[in-house]
Structure 1
Amino acid sequence: MSPEFKKFLLKLIAATIILALLGWVVFFFIFRGLYMGIYPVALVFFSTFTLLVHAYQLKLARGNLAKFTRSNMLVTFVKLVVYSLFTVIYLAANTENAVVFVIVVMALYLVFTSLEVSDLVKIARTQNKNK
Structure 2
Amino acid sequence: MKAFIVKLTGISLAIALIGWLVFSLAFPEYYLPVFPFLLLFFYLATMGIHSYQLKMAKKDIGKFTRSNMLVTFFKLVLYSVVAVVYIAVDKENALPFVICLMLLYLIYTFFEVTEITKATKSAERK
TM (normalized to structure 2)? 0.98
Maintained 8 Å contact 2:39/2:104: yes
Instruction: Tell whether 2:105 aligns with 1:113.
Output: no
Q: 1:48 aligns with which of 31, 44, 47?
A: 44
Give percent identity, aligned residues only.
44
2:67 aligned residue (65, 71, 74)? 71
Aligned length: 126
Question: Could you tell me which residue of structure 2 aligns to residue 127 of structure 1?
Answer: 123
**Post-superposition shift, 1:38?**
0.8
Any residues of structure 2 matched to 1:1-131 within 5 Å, and which? Answer: 5-130=1-126
Q: Secondary structure at the match of 2:59?
A: coil
Q: What SS does the aligned partner of 1:96 have?
A: helix
Do 2:86 and 2:94's aligned partners in 1 also have CA atoms closer than 8 Å?
Answer: no
Q: For the aligned residues, what is the CA RMSD?
A: 0.7
The whole-number CA distance in structure 2 between the counterparts of 1:112 and 1:65 is 23
Alpha-carbon shift at residue 97 of structure 1 (Å): 2.3
Unaligned runs of 5+ in 2: none
Distance 1:96 1:24 in 2: 21
The one-letter code sitting in structure 1 at the alignment partner of 2:100 is V
How far apart are the structure 1 equivalents of 2:32 and 2:62? 43
CA distance in 1, matches of 2:63, 2:57: 8
Cα offset for 1:67?
A: 0.4
Question: Segments of 4+ in structure 1 off by > 4 A?
Answer: none
Unmatched tracts of structure 1, length 5 or more:
none
